[in-house]
Amino acid sequence: MVQQSSRLTYDPALIREQLDAIMVEAVPIHPFERPLDRQVLERLLPEYLAMSIAFPYLQAAAQRDLALHHIHAGMDFTEAEEITLVVGSFLVADETAVNSTLMASGPRGLPDILQTRRRFHSALLRQDIQRLLGEATDPRFSDDTKFYLHRLLDGLSSMDMVTRVATMVSFEAHAERMINGLWERLAEVFTVDRSELAYFHAHVGGDDPAEQYHVAMTGSMITRTLEVTDLPELCRAVVDAYHLHSDWCGAIAGIPAQQGASSL
């Protein structure tokens, strides 16, 4: 990893490109890029739903320790901390459909954000799962999913800026790949028009999919929050976090970890 990170320069677009390459190198084949049979997908979907439901709560909770730290120390917040707050807040607003509602209806549409079971991204996913499985499904928080969500919160709320940024950057980059992979697998196994799967279409479908902008936004945080001397450590932390996300996908698909974060 030291060799890879030494290739980095401090140009935002180049850093993103190089980090993307490092993440793909770390996980050449994502668990959802392998064939998955119907039984595996049926078992996996309630776990995936659990993550989708929990994520906005975790991203919101990620500000808690930082806020208390500053309050107790009587210290101002830094600009870098504000940047991780605004990006995290955007992601929460996105998951809870505040952004799409306001873009569609303007401020007059604000009361519509209360329709959480129709509008949250997790609500779209619940509808897709019902369409696929023919019945409503509850989220399943297995030990693997509990472990992942705890570790994810640790990373998102880390007081160490490199870990905090690496977790956010890797989560969005991984989300794009994970959602694409799962959409492909579901379309292969279930007799469904893939464009009718609203959760997947909203993230990675259509002419102008939203997820690419999340990846770009979290990527542009890097040069606004970290020093050039942080970049080698950022590379290590991004790979570590990417394995965390990908290993969870492997665990819920019943595929052993390709390379655990502990081996780094």
What residue ranges bind Fe ion (CB under 5 A)?
A: 121, 175, 214
Q: How far is the CB of 197 from Fe ion (least distance, A)?
A: 13
Question: Amino acid letter at 161?
Answer: M
Q: Which structure tokens are listed for 214? A: 């999340």
Closest by Cα among 141, 146, 139, 114 to 125: 139
The minimum distance between CB 187 and Fe ion, in angstroms, equals 19
Work out how close the CB of 221 gets to Fe ion at its nearest, in angstroms, rounded to a whole number: 13
Nearest residue (CB) to Fe ion, 121 versus 243 = 121
Helix (H) or strand (E) holding 160: none
Cβ 7 to Fe ion shortest distance, Å: 27
Contact 249, 31 (CB under 8 A): yes
The Cα angle at residue 125 between residues 141 and 60, in degrees rounded to 5? 65
Measured from the CB atom, the residue of 121 and 177 that comes closer to Fe ion is: 121
Contact 145, 217 (CB under 8 A): no
The answer to whether 143 and 47 are in contact (CB under 8 A) is no
Q: Which is nearer to Fe ion, 214 or 245 (CB)?
A: 214
Which amino acid type is present at position 224?
A: R
Tell me whether residue 41 or residue 204 sits nearer to Fe ion (CB atom): 204
Closest contact distance (angstroms) between CB of 53 and Fe ion is 11
Name the token pair of 161.
Answer: 């800026």
Residue among 31 and 56 whose Cβ is closer to Fe ion: 56
